[in-house]
Structure formats: structure tokens, C-alpha cells
Amino acid sequence: MVWCAARSVRPRIERGFRIGFLLGIDIGGSKVALAVGDPEGRVRARLRRATEPSGEAGADLDRIAADARRLLAEAGVASRELTAVGVSAPGPVDAERGELVHPPNLRGWGRVPLRAALQEALGAPVVIENDANAAALAEWRWGAGRGFDDLVYLTMSTGVGGGLIVGGRLCTGVGGNAGEIGHLPVEWNGEPCACGLRGCLEAYVGGAAWTRRLRRIAPEPGRVAELAGGRERATPRELVAAAREGDVFALAEMARWNEYLARALAAVVFVLAPQAVILGTIATAAGEELCLAPLRKLVAARVWPLLGERLAILPSGLGDALPDHAGIAVALHSRAGG
């Protein structure tokens, strides 16, 4: 558990609301992050711990609520000063009902009425968004997306998720499913995807799919396998590390990775004409030389110059601080609109 020092935080008036403090809760597959902040994104107190699902959602929610109350007390924020609670949770999320729907990474969580439970426990309005939408909001408010009112955020981890800001507002679409860019087709009738379709971006650049591929094709012994302690354990992280050392196999795999990502981004550009695409997780780890610079060239070759020249392809600006801001951004979004 990590606490950060209290900083000067003041309330703000936005669209007629006086916004006091906001509580953000980021429920990840491995970690839960809670943070208390203000509408400017300044974090007053934060807490992180392992998720450790007990197998019973009710007990897990009780623990999160207890952590939240303790954090608010430590931050010196009274109940009446808490304007809203925002939750960033792994999809699928039913944002309208405020429920999680069988999140695959949270053992024992079925259909969980998270909003109702936390509202009762914390006495403030609770809003839920899936993690990609929450990250898009946070990057737009305080990260690499500041100043761009049309942007796409892509998280590239086990799966590939996306969040869209369109005209300065979160774009949710039917059932909150806008931005499922991981399932854009990048090969017609290509590799089977975990979602049941074929040729999805995620089947090529998602961490889980990539690890399966590595197990199948990585040379043994090779640098990727060596770094991972065996081919069976290889993940995109070791691939990036091996590519950074100049390993030829790893560099070829990175080129393939960038090519498929560019195909999906070209489609996104022709649909939305965004000002910025912001890449998180593995793309951030791979960095400028291995990912961003080659990706910019590949995308530019697949879109019109007038679109490519005005498109920024950027790494996440919040990086490791994202979990502290994601939930706060969701809470602010619900109060301030846009």
C-alpha cells in the first residue's frame, strides 16, 4: 500500500456545479488503485494493493469500500466534500445499469451491481466506465491527449481495448461498446480471435495471442526465450527487450506487430479523422524506435497526407500514474460532462 503526500487541492466550479473532491477506483486484474483528487487531476492521496479476488464479489466490494473510507479519512475529505466516485473496471461494463458483467479477470465476479453497492457504502454518486474509456478520459484531461478534442486511446495489454473522445466528449456507442478497436479486421478470415471472430487486431497484437504465437514459432534457444526463462513463458515484454538488444527474430516480430497495428489505425483514421492516437502499455514500453516511429510511417502510407500530417501518434502521457487518474477522470466526466 502506497500513500502519497497531501498537496494543495481546491474545489472548482464547472458548468454550474461546484465540484469538490473526487474518488477514483481502478479495479485491475492484478491491482486495485484508489485515489482522491480534484477536478484539476491533482491527487491528494492514493492507495494501491493487489486485487486478490476472494471468489465472492460482495466481500471484495466491502474491502474496496473500506479502503475508500480509510483513504478519504487520511486525505481529510469529509463525506459532504466528496462530489462523485468514478470506477474504471475491466470490460464488459454495463455503464447504464452500473454493473460489471462477468469480468474475466475477476474470479467469482458474475453480474456485479457495483454502482448500487458502492453508492450505499460511500454515500456519493458512483459512475462506472470500462478501463479503456476511463484511460481515454484521463489521457485527454491530464495526459498526452490534452488539447485534442478528437482522440483515440489504445491499451495494448493481454487484450487490445480502445476509448474514443469525439468532439470533446466520450463516445460510448451502443451499450458502451464504441472503440473496440482490438476487433477491427486486419486479415480477412485470418487468425482465430478469442472473441470468436477471425482476423481481429487483438489476434495479432494482443498479449495473450502473441504469447501463444511465440510458443509456436519462437526459436529455442533464442534471445526471447532466454530472457523469459523458457519459450513457454515468453510474453511481449521479453520480445520488446530482445528487439531492443537487436535480436533479429524479435525485430521481425516487432515489424509484423507494427504492420497490423497500422492497418487498424488506418481504418480508424478514415472513420474518425482524429487529431491524436495515444498508445499505452506494450506500445509505451516498446517506445519511439521500435514502435512509434515505424508505426507513424506505416500509417502515413495508408492514409491521405491531409489526414496523416495532422495526426499525432503518441505514447501515454500518464504511464504508471494512469490508475490514479482513470477513476478520477470518470468521476469528473460524470459531473462536468464531456
Q: How many residues does the chain have?
A: 338
Segment 237-276, which members bind its own copies (CB under 8 A)? 263, 266-268, 270-275
Q: All 3 cell numbers of residue 18?
A: 461546484
Are residues 312 and 279 in contact, defined by beta-carbon separation less than 8 angstroms?
no
Which is nearer to its own copies, 16 or 196 (by Cβ)? 196
Are residues 305 and 179 in contact, defined by beta-carbon separation less than 8 angstroms?
no
Cα first-last separation, the chain: 32
Contact pick of 23, 72, 164, 205 for its own copies (by CB under 8 A): 164
Number of residues that bind its own copies (CB under 8 A): 41
Contact pick of 80, 167, 246, 320 for its own copies (by CB under 8 A): 167
Q: Is 49 helix (H, G, I), strand (E, B) or coil?
A: strand
Segment 275-334, which members bind its own copies (CB under 8 A)? 275, 302-304, 306-307, 310-311
Least distance (Å) between residue 331 CB and its own copies: 20
Which is nearer to its own copies, 97 or 302 (by Cβ)? 302
Examine residue 185 and tell whether it contacts its own copies (CB under 8 A). yes
β-strand pairing of 31-37 with 21-27: antiparallel
Contact pick of 12, 49, 169, 213 for its own copies (by CB under 8 A): 169
Residue ranges with strand state E in 97-167: 99-101, 111-112, 126-130, 151-156, 160-166
Q: Is 215 helix (H, G, I), strand (E, B) or coil?
A: helix
Cα–Cα–Cα angle for 16, 18, 24, rounded to 5 degrees: 120
Distance (Å, rounded) from C-alpha 274 to C-alpha 288?
20
Closest CA to 151 of 32, 23, 297, 269: 269
Q: All 3 cell numbers of residue 235?
A: 510474453
Which is nearer to its own copies, 241 or 273 (by Cβ)? 273
Distance (Å, rounded) from C-alpha 242 to C-alpha 148?
34
Least distance (Å) between residue 13 CB and its own copies: 21
Least distance (Å) between residue 131 CB and its own copies: 17
Least distance (Å) between residue 103 CB and its own copies: 15
Which is nearer to its own copies, 171 or 251 (by Cβ)? 171
Which is nearer to its own copies, 90 or 176 (by Cβ)? 176
Which is nearer to its own copies, 58 or 147 (by Cβ)? 147
Least distance (Å) between residue 168 CB and its own copies: 10
Which is nearer to its own copies, 16 or 167 (by Cβ)? 167
Indicate the DSSP class of residue 90: P
Segment 104-163, which members bind its own copies (CB under 8 A)? 150
Tell me which residues touch its own copies (CB under 8 A): 150, 164, 166-167, 169, 171-181, 183-185, 187-188, 195-197, 263, 266-268, 270-275, 302-304, 306-307, 310-311
